[in-house]
Structure 1
């Protein structure tokens, strides 16, 4: 096996590309254009609520919307994606909940559509002893929108499953953000993140759910998340 072939097996990065004269080979140019188109499509895609409801059944959800009225505004104004309008907050039933799960389109509704239902089910199976708030689906949402949603629900812990920024290797990568005592104004340093969850060599649902369940239990026990909570799970690989 050639050296470049061996390296390509270890990464999805475009390395050691061939040439046709003084240019890239046509197959590599077309593959790059296809990946770029997939990333653009993921950024602009809308979350299909009916399809998501079918995939989540029998689980029901409350749908809310950030202060960004449409996708174009959402992409230009990140600050609006972090705000929950009062009329949207009024849809959320307040209570005494341990964990609030939020499914948010983020920058890849495609990732949420494909991966969030399976990951959510796996996580719920591991967190049955806890009081879970009604499921929320948020559109035109940034990560910080979960703080306002979690606070409105009265949840001790907010878990947001959100589409990550697409790249030229993966356009449907899902991320998870865990925040203890959610409220508007929380900083990113006060969250824990699990990223790169997808079906193309990324983190699998079961492993991601194990990590999420560990973080949730420790966060509720220690009453913190972020830089003060370091993952201490048993390593997935020997050594």
Structure 2
């Protein structure tokens, strides 16, 4: 039985007469958070225990599921990006190892590292932008939201950007984009991957942007866009914010704590300078 959808047998939120309701019950219509659960004697009502078990199973399924990268690659090819997407793997050989050894998810498998090294050397000036899609901790997140995110993003990017081939990364952690971006000689890397599932959001996508990707970068050098999903920050909204961050990171030559997200106060237009006129740090 899959847990991607609500069980048809899941109980509703109405409490039977023998359950003591919470005074905050009306707030449940405003949030998916687990609030105002009520009680039955000294314990939670049976319905709430069942709902908790269902949500927990959904989170576990999202973490252990294998992403369908073949289907994802086909969908992205239909968007006609400048080059066909590339599929790579981290050094984690399987899902179980990936979950136990986060460090292996931050480095490319040797054969893929060599392949990206060759591609980077073949580009005379390197690339302005490297876009990576990784499974992360929720394959469900990228299967639902990665393609809509990139579709919305593409029309917002300046036509002058030199974009590397899209990279689809299996068993990926956030820092894998540093390894990928450095080998492709990219000025800026962006990775979108599944966030750690919660009990109300097993399909949340996170997006991380890093100027001058290098192995050993810290989280302080990244900007993060979180909770990308239909019920949270929609892919279209996240794409608009990401496009602004990309333009500003390339213009200012910085990201992370040095680049404050002010996208809500800015208007995207085509008047920004050519990214390469500010110099290249390669």
| Pair in the same fold by TM > 0.5 | yes
Residue equivalent to 2:264:
234
**Residue aligning to 1:115:** 145
Question: Of the candidates 98, 103, 109, which is equivalent to residue 128 of structure 2?
Answer: 98
Task: State how 1:15-30 maps to structure 2 within 5 Å.
Answer: 15-30=35-50
Query: Aligned ranges for residues 191-230 of structure 1 at < 5 Å?
Result: 191-199=222-230, 201-230=231-260
Provide the rounded CA distance (Å) in 1 between the counterparts of 2:25 and 2:38.
12
Q: Deviations over 1:61-92 (max 9, x none)?
A: 11111111111111111111111133111222
Larger Rg: 2
Q: Distance in 2 between matches of 1:88 and 1:47?
A: 19
Match of 1:133 among 164, 172, 197: 164
Alignment root-mean-square deviation, CA: 1.6
How does the TM-score come out when normalised to structure 2? 0.79
CA contact (8 A) 1:64 1:91 kept: no
What CA distance in whole angstroms lies between the structure 1 residues aligned with 2:183 and 2:156? 25
Q: What is the aligned partner in structure 2 of residue 74 from structure 1?
A: 98
d(CA) in 1 for partners of 2:51, 2:107: 38
Once the two structures are TM-superposed, the CA of residue 163 in structure 1 deviates from its matched residue by: 0.5
Q: Deviations over 1:179-220 (max 9, x none)?
A: 001010111100000000011x20011110110001000000
Higher strand fraction (1 or 2): 1
Contact 1:97–1:131, Cα closer than 8 Å, also in 2: yes
The residue that corresponds to 1:57 in the other structure is 77
Q: Secondary structure at the match of 1:143?
A: coil
Q: What per-residue deviation string (whole Å, max 9, x for no partner) do you get for residues 1-36 of structure 1?
A: x95243223322111112233322222111111110
Distance 1:128 1:191 in 2: 21
- Residue 88 of structure 1 is matched in structure 2 by 112
Distance in 2, matches of 1:10 and 1:179, equals 35
Q: Distance in 1 between matches of 2:38 and 2:23?
A: 13
